[in-house]
Amino acid sequence: MQGRHEIKHCISLADYYMLRQRLRAVLKQDAHAGPSGSYEIRSLYFDTAEDKALHEKLDGVRDRDKYRIRFYNHDTSVIHLEKKSKRVDIGFKTSAPLTAEECRRILQGDIEWMESSEHALVRELGDAMRGGGMKPKTIVDYTRDPFTYEAGNVRVTLDHHIRTGLQGVDFLDPDCVTIPAAPDVIILEVKWDNYLPDIVREVVQVPDTRAEAFSKYAICRAFE
C-alpha cells in the first residue's frame, strides 16, 4: 500500500481567497468538484467508549487508526467505509463500499452480517465494534475545494464551513441538525507520494502559518 506524506495548515479567510486563485492558476481542479469548484462531504466517525482515537490524536500518538463512513454532495448512493492510519509521518488509507441499507444496519447496532462481508475492512470494523467497543460518535460536515497535480500525485484541498452533529449519528438523514464547529477555520491540506514538486511547494506557501495537527473530528467532539 502506498503511503502518503501530509501537511496541514490553518489559514485565514483572506489567505484562502488568495491561495485559491493561485491554485487555480497552477493546479487542476478535481473533476468531481463541478462548476463551483467545491463539493460537500459528510463523514460519520467511530470511536471506542473511552474515545481512544480522539485521545491518540490529541496526545500526538504517531501510530494510530480511525474509522469513518462518508458520502459526497448529499448522494447516499455511493458511500465508503474508510480507515485512516498514521505510521510516524506517513498516512495510509483503505476503503470499502457500503450501501445505504448496510449503513442503517450499522447505526441500528445490527452488525452480525459484517462478519461475512466480502470486504476485509467491513469485517475489521465489525470485529472492532463487537470486541473493542467501537461505535458511531459524531457527524462531521464540511465543504472542500480540491486541486490535483500529476507529478508526485499531489492533492491540495481547502476545507471550510466545518459543522458538527454533536452526539447525533443519523448519518443518512439529510435534515439532521448540525451546527458550525469552526466558522473561522480553513484548513489547507497537502498530500503527496514520494516527492512534492517545487512549483507546488511554492504555490502553497502562506506567510505566518505553520504545520498543525488539526483534526476536524477532534474539534467537532469538543462541543459535546
- Domain with 169, as residue range(s), is 4-221
pLDDT at 211 over 70: no
Cβ count near 190 (within 10 Å): 21
DSSP string, 4-72: EEEEEEEE-HHHHHHHHHHHHHHSEEPGGGTTTT-EEEEEEEEE-TT-HHHHHHHTT-SEEEEEEEEEE
pLDDT digit string, tens, across residues 143-188: 999 999 999 999 999 999 999 988 888 999 988 989 999 888 899 9
Residue 208: its pLDDT value, please? 75
CA distance 2 to 91: 9
DSSP structure class, residue 184: T
CA distances from 89 to 66, 83, 85 (A): 15, 16, 10
Which residue, among 147, 160, 153, 141, has the nearest Cα to 203 in the 3D structure? 147
pLDDT digit string, tens, across residues 105-123: 999 999 999 999 999 999 9
CA distance 99 to 77: 7
Cell of 176: 439532521
Residue 222: its pLDDT value, please? 82
pLDDT band of 207, cuts 50, 70, 90: confident
Domain count, the chain: 1
Alpha helices in 52-153 (DSSP H): 52-58, 100-107, 120-131
**CATH code at 103?**
3.20.100.30
